[in-house]
Structure 1
Amino acid sequence: MSKPQIALVTGASRGAGKGIALGLAEKGMTVYVTGRSTEVGSAKGWDGATLPGTVLETAEEITKAGGKGIAVVCDHADDAQVAALFEQIKEEQGRLDILVNNAAYIHPQLIEPKPFYEKGLDAQFILDVGLRSAYVASWHAAKIMAEQKSGLIVFTSSFGASCYMHGAAYGAQKAGLDKFAHDMAVDLEDVNVQTLSIWMGPLVTERAIIAAEVHPEQYTEFMATAETPEFIGRIVYAVANDDKASEISGHTVISAEIAKDRYNISDREGKFPPSYREMLGSPNPPNPAKVY
């Protein structure tokens, strides 16, 4: 696989997307980042507090970190805006080496310990911006990557694909992303494009820090060993540079495990984050059967 140069990380105004983009920036990549936030104040934490970060600020930090940041204001619920995004990348760069599908609708009641029918019906919007949007972005990216015969499409997933986590809509979205990686790998195998779904562990993000304050009984212990989002970006870069990445294409992997066992990538203070496989479940292994 040739050295990756151009990446796109969706949903990168803050949180996981921002950190992943910064992890790629450390390697000198040009990173396109999308988001809707152009002014601080549009996103709120679980306690109602204003969250920091805009897509424009993320692009600036990417450049400061050693890469080249390019912000594109994009609503991933709008297919026309997404199509224009990929046209822009193709016109400006002529290629795309990494797509990280991270954009997702975060419902304000997501972490409330209530059954799904007591939460607002709009919680299911994560199946639009989160699942459907990842399909649309991957469809556009695959066309570029198939033509150049190289590339990596990543889905940011979680243990919620296996265990009960945040309710039915969240779990279905994560399970769907894993299946996207599995099935898209079959279609992309002959054009040397890899796919991967990554179960990220608890992450040190703006929302997570507030969650630990709002629900300390659920999150305080997890946060003590939480992963940085930049850690996920370094894993993505390692996979994109892995000459044997086809071995894991279509798989769903646990971030802590692939980082330690395959790439020897550590996180904060040189430590390896724990895997929560025994507590929260295991990814499904790839199924070799094909039915057309």
Structure 2
Amino acid sequence: MNSQQNVVAIVTGASRGAGRGIAIALGSHGCTVYVTGRSEKAGDHALPGTIYETAEAVTKAGGKGIAVRCDHADDAQVKALFDQVLAEQGRVDILVNNAAAVYDELSMPGNFWEKPLKLVDMIEVGLRSSYVASWLAAPAMVAQDNGLIVMTSASGAAHYSMGPAYGAHKAGVDKLAFDMAVDFRDAKASVAAVSIWMGALATDRLLGMIEAEPEKYGYLRDTIETPEYTGHVIWALFNDPTLQERSGQTLIGAELGRDYDVTDVGGRQPPSYRDTHKVMPHQHYPLVIR
């Protein structure tokens, strides 16, 4: 187990959904969690949830939740976030890159050119924003010789899912984790970068989709994970003394859960994409060209 008494985490895009669940789970393990997002009050988004509500839930779970409004499309705001965290805490131990621009049109019928161009924002706030946040976290993590950067991803990185913008984002963050790990090893730093394929999550968005189109999405009811599940998996991963052996890998969250004996609500073990979809992460080659 990691010996630090006060683990400092940043979870981006944590007003709702996966980010909210991950933040609360880390809070339950006593972490100080900086919760970022743009939603400050009801009505800021069509779906419920604000950064303040998540921060309060983190504290209620046993940690310390700190809400910071941050638009991850704005590099200056992201830099201000990291300046604040380092000024207040002096370190950052876990960064969860979860912020993404997700629109309802993503799951609507049609080919990519028949959907709004704004869907490409997922590459800006999703892929690029993960790079920026990691770029800002890396110097502090390397200096303290400890840290974990997590990209939240999904199996759409390796098969068609909701179009090229979504697929490019997921495949891109998987590759970010791999390449960042190469650089951390080159720097001889005990900093790990991984990408985690989360399962279908019991978020307000997905539950709404299942209710609206049960014939299309109803099958997901038996496989969905709670948003908190990935957070507990991340905590187990962070405390794994062999973490560096996993650095650079794209990992299926359900399989990590089995490895670490992390279960979801009711002691349930979520299924792996390897079993349900017959897909697995791409394996990258060890060749390094500098």
Whether 1:127 and 2:127 are equivalent positions in the alignment is: no
Cα distance in structure 2, aligned partners of 1:273 and 1:2: 29
Contact 1:162–1:280 (CA under 8 A) maintained in structure 2: no
Cα distance in structure 2, aligned partners of 1:174 and 1:280: 18
Deviations 1:117-174 (A, max 9, x none): 1100110000000000000000001011011010000000000101111111000000
2:286 to 285, 288, 291: 288
| 3-state secondary structure, aligned to 1:37 | coil
Q: How does 1:183-202 map to 2 (within 5 A)?
A: 183-189=179-185, 190-202=188-200
| 3-state secondary structure, aligned to 2:72 | coil
Q: What amino acid does structure 1 have at the position aligned with 2:111?
A: P
Q: What's the offset of the Cα at 1:108? A: 2.4
| 3-state secondary structure, aligned to 1:152 | strand
Cα distance in structure 2, aligned partners of 1:246 and 1:206: 35
Whether 1:258 and 2:281 are equivalent positions in the alignment is: no
Give identity over the alignment, percent. Answer: 53
The equivalent residue for 1:48 is none
1:246 to 244, 247, 264: 244
Q: What's the offset of the Cα at 1:217? A: 2.3
Q: What amino acid does structure 1 have at the position aligned with 2:134?
A: S
Cα distance in structure 2, aligned partners of 1:30 and 1:286: 34
2:221 to 216, 220, 223: 223
| 3-state secondary structure, aligned to 2:262 | coil
Cα distance in structure 2, aligned partners of 1:199 and 1:240: 16
Work out the number of aligned pairs and report it: 285
Q: Give ranges in structure 1 of 5+ residues lacking alignment.
A: 45-50
Q: CA RMSD in A?
A: 1.1
Q: What amino acid does structure 1 have at the position aligned with 2:246?
A: I
Contact 1:202–1:223 (CA under 8 A) maintained in structure 2: no
Q: What's the offset of the Cα at 1:216? A: 1.6
Cα distance in structure 2, aligned partners of 1:238 and 1:63: 20
Greater displacement, 163-172 / 273-282 = 273-282
The equivalent residue for 1:268 is 265
The equivalent residue for 1:11 is 13
Instruction: Give the direction of change, closer, same or farther, for the CA distance of 1:171–1:210 in structure 2 (3 Å limit).
Output: same
1:39 to 28, 41, 48: 41
Moved over 6 A (4+): none
Cα distance in structure 2, aligned partners of 1:253 and 1:43: 31
Cα distance in structure 1, aligned partners of 2:284 and 2:260: 21
Q: What amino acid does structure 2 have at the position aligned with 1:276?
A: Y
Cα distance in structure 2, aligned partners of 1:170 and 1:199: 13
Q: What amino acid does structure 1 have at the position aligned with 2:181?
A: A
Q: Give ranges in structure 2 of 5+ residues lacking alignment.
A: none
The equivalent residue for 1:204 is 202
1:161 to 157, 162, 185: 157
Q: With structure 1 as the length reference, what TM-score do the two structures score?
A: 0.95
Q: What amino acid does structure 1 have at the position aligned with 2:149?
A: I
Instruction: Give the direction of change, closer, same or farther, for the CA distance of 1:74–1:34 in structure 2 (3 Å limit).
Output: same
Cα distance in structure 2, aligned partners of 1:105 and 1:71: 19
Q: What's the offset of the Cα at 1:214? A: 2.0
Deviations 1:7-64 (A, max 9, x none): 00000000000000011011011000101001111222xxxxxx21100111011101
Cα distance in structure 2, aligned partners of 1:142 and 1:2: 21
| 3-state secondary structure, aligned to 1:110 | helix
Q: What's the offset of the Cα at 1:2? A: 4.2
Q: What amino acid does structure 2 have at the position aligned with 1:196?
A: V
Cα distance in structure 2, aligned partners of 1:178 and 1:2: 29
Q: What's the offset of the Cα at 1:223? A: 2.3
Q: How does 1:168-187 map to 2 (within 5 A)?
A: 168-187=164-183
